[in-house]
């Protein structure tokens, strides 16, 4: 299991956070950087962190963002939590593909499409994403 606590999230920090997490995942799971699973993990972590910042910058700056990564022989499970940055996730995960003209709203749909399972806790403060390892 890997865990991280990032205080004071800001867009200029996201790249370094994602790089740190992926470096550790590659090391722990012998995951190759060129594989689709690596890209899917990178995209999902990036999208959730940016959404936390974009949708509630005050909570992102004040509250710690906690990331836990667990794995089994068959799955990799991400849990990304920021208390205070909740939202009505049901509205965004049940709407289907976003239109090409839409300026926002593609990230969660993409995560839902590339993962095995994707949901939020009741308050929309914690994202849970599962990817098949193989």
**CATH number for the domain that contains residue 67:** 3.30.565.10
CA–CA distance, 55 with 107 (Å, rounded to integer): 13
* Residue span of the structural domain in which 47 resides: 2-132
Q: Please tell me the total count of domains within the chain.
A: 1
Token pair for 24: 């550790």
Question: Which single residue is written with the structure tokens 């839902």?
Answer: 112
| Overall pTM > 0.85 | yes
In 16-134, beta strands by DSSP E? 65-71, 75-82, 117-120, 126-132
Q: What digits encode the pLDDT tens for the residues 22-32?
A: 999 999 999 99
Point out the least confidently predicted range of 32-36, 81-85, 121-125, 130-134.
Answer: 81-85
Give the CA distances from residue 76 to residues 39, 46, 71, 79, 134, in Å, rounded to whole numbers and listed in that order.
Answer: 13, 16, 4, 10, 10
């Amino acid at each position: 299991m890997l865990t991280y606590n990032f205080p004071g999230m800001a867009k200029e920090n996201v790249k370094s956070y994602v790089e740190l997490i992926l470096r550790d995942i590659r090391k722990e799971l012998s995951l190759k950087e060129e594989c689709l699973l690596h890209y899917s993990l990178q995209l999902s972590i990036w999208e959730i962190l940016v959404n936390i910042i974009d949708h509630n910058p005050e909570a992102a700056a004040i509250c710690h963002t906690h990331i836990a990564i667990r794995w089994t022989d068959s799955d990799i499970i991400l849990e990304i939590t920021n208390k205070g940055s909740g939202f009505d996730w049901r509205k965004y995960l049940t709407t289907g593909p976003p239109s090409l003209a839409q300026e926002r709203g593609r990230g969660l749909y993409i995560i839902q499409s590339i993962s095995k399972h994707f949901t939020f806790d009741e308050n929309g403060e914690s994202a849970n994403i599962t990817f098949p390892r193989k």
